[in-house]
A and B are shown apart, each in its own frame.
Chain A
Amino acid sequence: MDVWLVLLSVVILLVVAMATVLRRIRNPDLTGEGAITDDSTTKNGRRTFLRFIAIAAASAVPTVFLPAAMRSQSHTVRAQEDPARGPGGRIRQWTMIIDLRRCDGCQSQGTPPRCTTACIEGHLVPEPMEWIQVFEQELPGGGTQFLPAPCLQCQNPPCVNVCPVGATFSTPEGIVLIDQDRCIGCRICMAACPYDRRFFNWADPPIPPEALLADYSPDHQIPATKGTVMKCDMCPDLARAGTLPYCAQACPNNAIYYGDLEEDIATNGVDMVPVSRFLSENHAYQLKEHLGTKPRVYHVPGHGEAVGRDVFHEGRMETEWPWVRRVEGTNPWSR
């Protein structure tokens, strides 16, 4: 159904209704000769009504073709070419499992979180966005845990539900993407996201020369566009090519697993795990499960103990955007 259709119909109905009234005011004789008997009013009323319906119906005709005509000039949403398929031809259902037992916020590395940096370099993420962001959360018994948070790829995505133009959408592979060529920058998706995982290009984003070579697709969101929303896209193009997302590749402790729920298998680059068993045995949870957003990203509880993290040691470094420094004359906005 098209918005044009209903909007125009409403307006046309009102205008036609008004025109009918105005016509009768302008030509009072239309309403009957001299004294109006009940009989003639009914007849007249019926005739007016029929004419009204006819005009409304006739005026609705162009509204059917108008959207089609307009649409032919604009591109349709950039759906993914072909969804990746697993054995048996079933569409892959990408999932990510973040094992918090192995995440030490890259304290041990003495670098900013490597997942964030790799994502920033791989996607040319404009400063100060962090599509996968490592939060530090208090633990009940004191100390903190690191919590890497990419877009949660909800199956009941609040952002997709509110988007007025379908610029953000769920793919058959079960992930949520944004078409920056369609986004109007109303930011209702940012208001709706309960995880604060969406970022806006408040100014002209820096564009390095290599970004201009990239063929834009919602799968990788390069190059960035002013006045549109961006977020983690779970690297479906890399997955289809048989590679792990940038963040999973970069994690020095192999804390990020990526895989296919349909085939029930995921890998962190070193181990292969059966997803369902891994989630159950390790008491995996989803962030803010109670909201009913049904994230595709799972977290395994922990606080870096598997890699020997000193929970009282502070040492995480600030995130950097190394590629932005290569672009001249950029002026990043504050977070």
Chain B
Amino acid sequence: MALGPTGRRDEPVESVTDYRRRLEDITLEPVITTSRGYWFLIAGLLAIIAWGIYAWTIQLNDGLVVTGMRDRISWGLYISVFVFFIGISHAGTLISAILRVTNAGWRAPITRIAEFITVVALICGASMIVVDMGRPDRLLNVLVHGRWQSPILWDVIAISTYLTASLVYLYLPMVPDLALFRDRLTGRVGGWRTRLYEILAIGWRDLPEQRRPLLRAIGILMILIIPIAVSVHTVVSWIFGMTLRVGWNSTIFGLLFVAGAIFSGIATLVIIMAVLRKVYHLEEYLTEKHFVNLGYLLAAFTLIMMYINASEYLTKGFKLEEGEEFLFQQLFLGQFAGLYWFYFIGGLLIPGMLILIKRTRTIAGVVTAAVLVDLAMFSERYFIVISGMRVPLMPYEPFDYTPTLVEWSIFAAGVAFFVLLIALFVKVFPIMAVWEVVEERERTGDIVDDLVAGATPGAAFDRGDDRYRSREPPDRGPS
């Protein structure tokens, strides 16, 4: 019985081949088998999206009059949802780029999911802007007549650059896994998917000459994508920060939005990880360690968010310039107080505590914290947009904004679209970066070379041993 190279474990060490086969099977599972529940989910999501599209046609026909927005609060739910979606798109950047750069090995099984959230969230966020436009038919004016001086143009450029880079960054590390799918799925799935894998795998044979350019490209991209991601949410905040409105006229807005984006991005990642783990039995790969590590990141960000909040509201509240009093009144005591205090207590204090207290630092605890954080960050986006809009600029009574059914319907469709794209993704593409996970396990010495393990490669499979699917390593005989 072989021990790991470090000799620190008593348990037998699995061979690379066996480990790899088992991991591949787990990854292939969602693509091969589809449960009835999945189709119900897809049908439900499509129904919500259809309803949202119907609501949008009403809005296109009648104009934005069908929303709750009017001249005095001219941005509402749509813009809040846009900011929220762009926020959660930061899941991918942080997890895959920053953790890759810092060589945090535990990231390997979660990078793929994170990168995909980025792409999907960006698509959903950008579509919210189109929904909010008074003249979506003139969308191309932004390109034809674009002015560099406008924060909206900075957004267009930053978001499209980020989307392109994220797509490339999603695709490149997926190439070896697509080759795996090509090799193992041909004949087992429908014709178009075989063709798709064939094309996307671009003749990957795992040769050293292929690995080198791939790894180098990933290396360049992971560095490149961090400043792009930071710039994206900074310029999103500047849509607000570049105006003279009380509540938005702040130099800290870029930081507040970027921190909030990463914060809600991690939370979204935790939630989606938890769902996939449950549905596709990924318990071995998405372990408590992953949730706890992401939980620590969440806890750190609750502190950062609290610090930025204190910095923002104390410096303004202390001086109480014109209009600030009104803003503070409605934010802390008035009509946004419920949202604000839910955000502060339910979204910062409680999640922080859940993670810092050892008893609740479990998967369930971290997932609870993540759900709270996402809800809180959504309400934060909402009250930042609406409360800033509501401060009267001239001597008039403040206007009250309530989203209408049309707005809620389109919002629901946006969320459904987000879930739908993720659900479709897991049916077609590998949800885990198999090669990265294997490499990482090899590096940590949890699995060893076939010869060291003393096993015939794939022996467990040849015997039809079903234990390769359990957590128990297969029996290898004396070494």
Contact = CB atoms under 8 A, between A and B. Distances in A.
A162 B393 contact: no
Contacts of A149: 394
Interface string A30-47: 011000000000000000
Contacts of A183: 134-135, 138
B202 A135 contact: no
A188 interface: yes
Interface residues of B, number: 67
Interface in A243-291: 291
A102 B56 CA distance: 49
A187 B210 CA distance: 50
A50 interface: no
Contacts of A22: 202
Interface in B199-243: 202-205, 207, 209-210, 212-214, 216-217, 239-240, 242-243
Given A185-B133, A186-B133, A188-B151, A25 B244 contact: no
Contacts of A226: 63, 134
Contacts of A32: 209
B423 interface: no
A186 B132 contact: yes
Contact of B153 (A24, A164, A201): A164
Interface in B115-153: 129, 132-135, 138-153
B462 interface: no
Interface stretch (A13-21, A52-60, A81-89): A13-21
B172 A18 contact: yes
Contact of B172 (A21, A165, A198, A204): A21
Interface stretch (B69-77, B335-343, B425-433): B69-77
A7 interface: yes
Contact of A203 (B62, B151, B213, B393): B62
Interface in A180-195: 182-188, 190-195
A313 interface: no
Nearest to A28: B209
Contact of B65 (A10, A26, A191, A203): A203
Nearest to A2: B146
A24 B205 CA distance: 12
B144 A71 contact: yes
Nearest to A71: B144
A21 B62 CA distance: 49
B207 A28 contact: yes
B151 A228 contact: no
A335 B72 CA distance: 8
A278 B314 CA distance: 43
A119 to B, nearest CB: 16
A167 B132 CA distance: 18
A18 B168 contact: yes
Given A67-B144, A187-B134, A333-B65, A3 B156 contact: yes
Contacts of B216: 21
B71 A162 contact: no
Which of A6, A22, A70 has most chain B Cβ within 10 Å? A22
A147 B395 contact: yes
Contacts of B70: 200, 202, 333-335
Nearest to B239: A188
Given A183-B134, A187-B74, A194-B393, A6 B145 contact: no
A202 B146 contact: no
Interface stretch (B158-166, B350-358, B367-375): B158-166
A6 B71 contact: no
Given A158-B243, A164-B150, A196 B393 contact: yes
B172 A166 contact: no
Contacts of B205: 28
A171 interface: no
Contact of B164 (A10, A164, A198): A10
B387 to A, nearest CB: 13
B209 A31 contact: yes
Contact of B141 (A6, A165, A198, A291): A165
A194 B245 contact: yes
A323 B232 CA distance: 47
A4 interface: yes
A184 B138 CA distance: 6
B174 interface: no
Contacts of A17: 168, 217
Contact of B395 (A25, A135, A166, A201): A135
B157 A166 contact: no
Interface residues of A, number: 73
A137 interface: yes
Nearest to B396: A135
A81 B243 CA distance: 31
A185 B135 contact: yes
Nearest to B64: A202
Contacts of B240: 191
A196 B142 CA distance: 24
B134 A28 contact: no
A162 B395 contact: no
Interface in B225-283: 239-240, 242-245, 248
B389 interface: yes
B175 interface: yes
Interface string B375-403: 00000000000000100111110010000
Given A192-B243, A335-B71, A227 B63 contact: yes
Interface in A124-176: 129, 133, 135-138, 147, 149, 158, 161-167
Given A147-B395, A333-B70, A182 B145 contact: yes
Interface in A43-98: 67, 70-71, 74, 77
Contacts of B168: 14, 17-18
B239 A196 contact: no
A184 B395 contact: no
Contacts of A4: 143-144, 146
Given A187-B74, A196-B71, A228-B134, A21 B394 contact: no
Given A26-B202, A28-B207, A196-B394, A188 B134 contact: no
14 contacts: A21-B172, A22-B202, A25-B210, A31-B213, A67-B144, A162-B242, A163-B150, A184-B141, A187-B134, A191-B74, A192-B245, A194-B245, A196-B394, A202-B63
Given A138-B395, A165-B147, 18 more contacts: A15-B164, A18-B168, A18-B172, A24-B209, A28-B207, A31-B213, A32-B209, A71-B144, A74-B141, A162-B243, A163-B147, A164-B152, A166-B145, A183-B138, A184-B134, A193-B393, A202-B63, A226-B134
The 8 closest A-B pairs by CB, nearest first: A185-B134, A227-B134, A3-B146, A28-B209, A164-B152, A203-B65, A202-B65, A203-B63
Interface of B: 62-65, 69-72, 74-75, 129, 132-135, 138-153, 156-157, 160-161, 164-165, 168, 171-172, 175, 202-205, 207, 209-210, 212-214, 216-217, 239-240, 242-245, 248, 389, 392-396, 399
Interface of A: 1-4, 6-7, 10-11, 14-15, 17-18, 21-22, 24-29, 31-32, 67, 70-71, 74, 77, 129, 133, 135-138, 147, 149, 158, 161-167, 182-188, 190-196, 198-204, 226-229, 291, 293, 333-335
